[in-house]
């Protein structure tokens, strides 16, 4: 099946899953979402030769596929349908951009140690993306409570305590994965502090410190609410800059393909 046609099918499935999740997800919603994720994964494997392509648009599409898969798994364990309403359309957009608008690139040849570092980094980043979306939903819930307006998104969300509990579970899991990725980087990446990686290393460590401080504050002082939302989003912004900031400048601004 041609990649472009499969991309259209996957995007349509993502949008259908979004509509189904917005209407209160049943078994059909999960099946449609799972089909969208599987088609997306097949596209990534076929379009990029089965390798790990870390160029800008390909990396965005890969992250979107992982986040969509994690969103599906989270909803199987703890139903937060609004996550799917937010995540699935974004996954469809990033998939279509990579399939139709991005230049064709070949996967970069990397050793297994670096591939392991990339896998844990990708998983940690994806889990923390889910945490960032949950933080935004938590902020919307708290705003609804303060203003006593429970329509729209606030009406579709689970109890605030469930959203907050799930948020810190995602942060904890993402922090562990990010810690493993950083340790593997220090062990196996010889030039981790070289000029072309120093910003990524510093920003990743800064994000790690933010999430670590948030978890410590939650355990020691019971941090929650606005503080948790601000720190989660701050850490996520640092990770976004670490993962995609330099590639955006190099590939889209300076037109250099690493």
Q: What is the DSSP string of 207-239?
A: HHHHHHHHHHHHHHH---HHHHHHHHHHHHHHH
The reply to whether 121 and 233 lie within a common domain is yes
DSSP code, position 110: -
pLDDT grade for 107, boundaries at 50, 70 and 90? low
Task: Answer with the residue of higher pLDDT: 244 or 237.
Answer: 237
Q: What is the pLDDT of residue 75?
A: 87
Which pair of structure tokens corresponds to residue 221?
């002082």
Comparing C-alpha atoms, which of 50, 47, 49, 40 is closest to residue 95? 40
Q: Is the pLDDT of residue 1 over 80?
A: no
The reply to whether 217 and 258 lie within a common domain is yes
Q: Is the pLDDT of residue 257 over 60?
A: no
Q: What is the pLDDT of residue 49?
A: 56
Instruction: State the total domains in the chain.
Output: 2
Q: How far is CA 129 from CA 38, 156, 207, in A?
A: 20, 20, 13
Task: Answer with the residue of higher pLDDT: 156 or 243.
Answer: 243
Q: Is the pLDDT of residue 181 over 90?
A: yes
- Asked if 33 contacts 17 with a C-beta cutoff of 8 angstroms, the reply is yes
The reply to whether 43 and 163 lie within a common domain is no
The reply to whether 97 and 147 lie within a common domain is no
Q: What is the pLDDT of residue 101?
A: 81
Lowest mean pLDDT among 35-44, 79-88, 96-105: 96-105
For 175, the domain range is 111-258
Q: Is the pLDDT of residue 238 over 70?
A: yes
The reply to whether 105 and 120 lie within a common domain is no
Task: Give the C-alpha separation, 95 to 251, whole Å.
Answer: 18
Task: Give the C-alpha separation, 252 to 59, whole Å.
Answer: 14
The reply to whether 64 and 75 lie within a common domain is yes
Task: Answer with the residue of higher pLDDT: 256 or 200.
Answer: 200
The reply to whether 224 and 122 lie within a common domain is yes
The reply to whether 9 and 131 lie within a common domain is no
Last residue of a domain, one of 109, 128, 145: 109
The reply to whether 135 and 235 lie within a common domain is yes
DSSP code, position 157: S
Q: Is the pLDDT of residue 226 over 70?
A: yes
The reply to whether 82 and 127 lie within a common domain is no
pLDDT grade for 111, boundaries at 50, 70 and 90? confident
Exposure of 38 by Cβ count < 10 A (0-12 exposed, 13-18 middle, 19+ buried)? middle
Last residue of a domain, one of 109, 138, 157: 109
Last residue of a domain, one of 52, 84, 109: 109
What percentage of residues in the chain have a pLDDT greater than 70? 84
Q: What is the pLDDT of residue 235?
A: 97
Q: Is the pLDDT of residue 155 over 80?
A: no
Task: Give the C-alpha separation, 128 to 205, whole Å.
Answer: 14
Q: What is the mean pLDDT of residues 112-128?
A: 89
Q: What is the pTM of this model?
A: 0.89
Q: What is the mean pLDDT of residues 120-136?
A: 95
Q: What is the pLDDT of residue 15?
A: 96
């Amino acid at each position: 099946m041609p990649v472009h046609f499969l991309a259209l099918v996957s995007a349509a499935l993502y949008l259908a899953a979004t509509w189904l999740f917005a209407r209160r997800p049943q078994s059909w919603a999960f099946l449609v979402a799972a089909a969208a994720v599987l088609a997306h994964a097949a596209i990534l494997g076929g379009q990029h030769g089965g390798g790990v392509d870390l160029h800008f648009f390909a990396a965005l599409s890969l992250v979107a596929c992982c986040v969509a898969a994690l969103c599906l798994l989270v909803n199987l364990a703890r139903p937060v349908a609004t996550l799917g309403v937010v995540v699935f359309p974004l996954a469809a957009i990033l998939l279509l951009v990579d399939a139709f608008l991005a230049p064709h690139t070949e996967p970069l040849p990397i050793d297994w140690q670096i591939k392991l570092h990339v896998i844990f980094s990708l998983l940690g980043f994806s889990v923390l993306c889910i945490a960032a979306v949950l933080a935004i939903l938590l902020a919307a819930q708290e705003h609804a409570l303060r203003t006593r307006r429970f329509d729209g998104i606030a009406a579709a969300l689970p109890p605030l305590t469930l959203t907050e509990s799930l948020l810190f579970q995602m942060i904890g899991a993402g922090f562990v994965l990010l810690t493993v990725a950083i340790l593997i980087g220090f062990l196996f990446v010889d030039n981790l502090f070289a000029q072309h990686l120093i910003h990524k290393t510093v920003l990743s460590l800064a994000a790690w410190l933010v999430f670590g401080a948030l978890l410590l504050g939650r355990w020691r002082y019971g941090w929650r609410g606005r503080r948790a939302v601000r720190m989660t989003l701050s850490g996520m912004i640092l990770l976004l800059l670490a993962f995609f900031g330099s590639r955006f400048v190099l590939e889209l601004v300076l037109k250099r393909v690493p």
